Chains A and B, each alone.
Chain A
C-alpha cells in the first residue's frame, strides 16, 4: 500500500476511527494488526521477516537485561546483529556479491557455480532492520531498558507510518510514546493533515512530475547529450528529495494524528553551504544512525586526524551500500566520502582563505557560493546514483558538457528552437516544463520561509482567508498538476 494510493485514503481514516474508539490499553493490538496489514498489502509472506527480527531482538533485549556479564551480553548482541544483518544480506546483497564474484571468475576464465537467488527485495528491509538494531545496541549499551511487552515491541518494529521508508526511529523516542494515552485531538489531526498535504504536494506534483523527465533521460542516456544530463541530474535531485522528504512528511503527519511524534528527517537540505552541512540536514535519521552506531564505534575523531578521515570515508562507503546493492550506489557513497574527507582536510586552509578575501559566514555571497558548490557536488554524485549502470554513469560523466556551449549561446542570443528540440526529445510540452519549474520554485520558496520556523506555525498567525487560500492552492495543485497517470511508487521503498 502506497501513501499516494486510493487504498491509503480509505485505510487511514478507518484506522484512525477504530484506534480512538478502542480503549487505550487495547489500541496497540489494533495498531499492530493495521501495521501488519499495511505491510502485507505489498507481499504477504515477507511479514515473516519482520516477525523474525521482532522475536530475535525482543528476546535478545530481555536476555541482555538479565545478564550482568559483558561477554554474555555481547553474545546476545552478536546474535541480533547476525540474524538481522544476515536477513538483510540474504535478501538485499547476496545476488549483488554473487554476480560480482561471478564476473570476476568469468574474467579469469574460472568456473563459478553458485546460483542466482530468485527473490524479491522486501520493501523497507533496510529501514526496519536498522531501527530494530538500534534497539538491541542501545539495550547492550545500557541506555535503553528492555521492552517487556512483546506487542508493544512488535509495534515499535512495524509501526506502519514509518515502517517502509523511515524515519528510522530510536527506541528511546518511539517506545515510550506507545504507552501514552493520547485522545483524539482536532488540533493535532489538522496539524498532521497539513503535513500530509505538503508531503503529497512534494510527491505527486514535484517528484512524480520531474520523475518522468528523469526516467526518459536515464533510461536511454546514449540518445541524449550534456544539456539533458545536467537537466536530468538537477531534476533528479528534486525528485529524490521530494519523493523521500514527501514520504517522511506523510509519515510524520500520519503518526501525529495518532499522537505519536516522529523525528524530523529533513531540514531544508538544499540550503546547506557544504556537503557536511547537507548531511546534517538530509535523511537525518540515517545520518545520526551511522554516526552513533558506526562512526563513533570506529573511533570517530578520537583516534587522530587520519583515522577520523578514514572513518568518514568508510561511513559514506557503507552508506552507499545501504542505499542499494549496485556499484553505482557504492561509487555514489565513495564520491561523497571523498568530498567530505576533502572538506574536512582543507577546512583550515579554507578558513585562512576566507579571512584573506574577506568572506564571512553570514554574507549573501558566501551563502550563494556555498550552496552552489554543495548542489554541484551533490547533483554530480546523484547522476551516478540514478544511472542504471556504471557504464551509463561513466558515459554521462564523460559527456556531461557536450553541447552545453552551443545551447547557452543559442539561448543567450534569443534562439529557443534548440530548447524546443530538447523538450520534444524529452516528450515534454512547454506547459509541462513550466509546471515542473514552478512547482520547484514553490517548494524552494516555502523552504526559504521555513528558515524562520515551521511554515504551519507561521501560517497559523495569518488571517483565515490567506490560510485557506494556501490550502486550496495546495490541494488544487495536487489534483490538477499531480502526476496521477504515471503511478510511481516511492524511490526509497527499494532501499
Chain B
C-alpha cells in the first residue's frame, strides 16, 4: 500500500510543480502590489500595464494602503480629472477611485468599500445618464473584494496573470509596454462613439430602480455619518444630447436630474450651451478636453461656477451658498 501512496504523492507533486512555479512568479512580480513584501518591478511599469488592465484592482489596492478622506467615483470622465489640480484648488486630499468604462454599480460598491476602509469626508459621484441606467451592470469590484478576502483568488485572476506576463515580457525584451489603441482619426472616432457606443448605452435603457434606491440609501448614510455628497453630471457634446432625445429619453433624462438633485448638490454640465456646442472642447461626444476639466474644477471646487446648473435640495444649496 505504501508503495502506491508514494507513487501517488510523487506523481501529484510532479504534476503540481508548474502551478507552484507559477504562484512563485506571480508572488514575485505582484503586478498590483497586492501581496506583502517588496517586488523587483517598479511602480512605473506596473502602472503602465496593470492599471490599464484592471483599474479597479489597481485603485482599490492602493486606496487600502494609502487612503484619502475625499474620493472621486465614476467612469473614465471622472478618472481623467487631474487630481493634483483638484487638491490644489480645494486644498484637500483626494483619491480618485474611478474606473474607465465604469458603471454606477462599481461606483456604489466602491463607495461602500472606501467607507469601510477609512473615514470619508466627502464623496463626489460622476454620473451621467448612460450609467444611471438599469441595463448597466458591469462589475469589476466584486472580484477585487473576493481577492482581498482570499489571496488565492488574486493568484488565479486572469488580469493578474496577463499583467505579470506583460511586465516580465517588457522586462526581458526591454521594450516599453503598449496597452490600449491610439484614437486615430477624430471624425471617424466621433462618429463611432456617437452611433455605435450610444446605441449600446441607450437602445435598451431601463429604469434604474435599484440604483435609485441605493443612491437614496447612500444619501441617507452620508447625512447620518456627516459625509459630504456631491453629484457631477459631466458635460457631453450637443450631438450626444440630441442623440439621447432621438432615443426618446427626454423624460428619463429629466427624471435622472430630479433624482440626483433630490438627494444632494448636483453640478449639471450636460446641457446645451456655448461650451457643449463647441467640438473643440471634446475628444468625442462623451469625453471633454483639458480646458473643460479646468472649468469643472473651478466650478465644483473653486467656487466659480461656469456653464453649470447647480441643483439640489433647497437646504443643501442654502448651506453651500450656491444659487
Contacts and interface: CB of A to CB of B under 8 A. Distances in A.
Given A183-B1, A424-B136, A471-B15, A417 B142 contact: no
Given A427-B138, A475-B19, A484-B153, A421 B203 contact: yes
A246 B161 CA distance: 27
A421 B135 contact: yes
Interface string A449-489: 00000000000000000001001100100011110110000
A345 interface: no
Interface in A410-434: 417-418, 420-422, 424-427, 429
A20 B204 CA distance: 60
A185 B4 contact: yes
Contact of B161 (A225, A417, A426, A480): A480
A186 B137 contact: no
Contacts of B204: 225, 421-422, 425
A425 B199 CA distance: 12
Given A425-B206, A427-B139, A186 B146 contact: no
Interface string B152-167: 0100101001000000
**Chain A CB within 10 Å — which of B5, B136, B142, B147 has the most?**
B5
Nearest to A184: B1
A418 B4 contact: no
Interface in A179-200: 183-186, 189-190
B143 interface: yes
A186 B7 contact: yes
A417 B134 contact: no
Interface string B121-144: 000000000000011111100110
A142 B112 CA distance: 64
Contact of B158 (A216, A472, A480): A480
Interface residues of B, number: 34
A51 B134 CA distance: 49
Interface string B1-16: 1001101100100010
A417 B199 contact: yes
B200 interface: yes
B105 interface: yes
A190 B8 contact: yes
Nearest to A225: B204
Contacts of B139: 427
B196 A417 contact: yes
A223 interface: yes
A184 B5 contact: yes
A216 B136 CA distance: 12
Contact of A184 (B4, B105, B199): B4
A417 B105 CA distance: 22
Contact of B8 (A189, A422, A485): A189
Contacts of A425: 135-137, 204, 206
Contacts of B199: 417-418, 421
Given A186-B4, A424-B137, A471-B15, A223 B206 contact: yes
B18 interface: yes
A20 B153 CA distance: 33
Contacts of A472: 18
Interface of A: 20, 183-186, 189-190, 216, 223, 225, 417-418, 420-422, 424-427, 429, 468, 471-472, 475, 479-482, 484-485
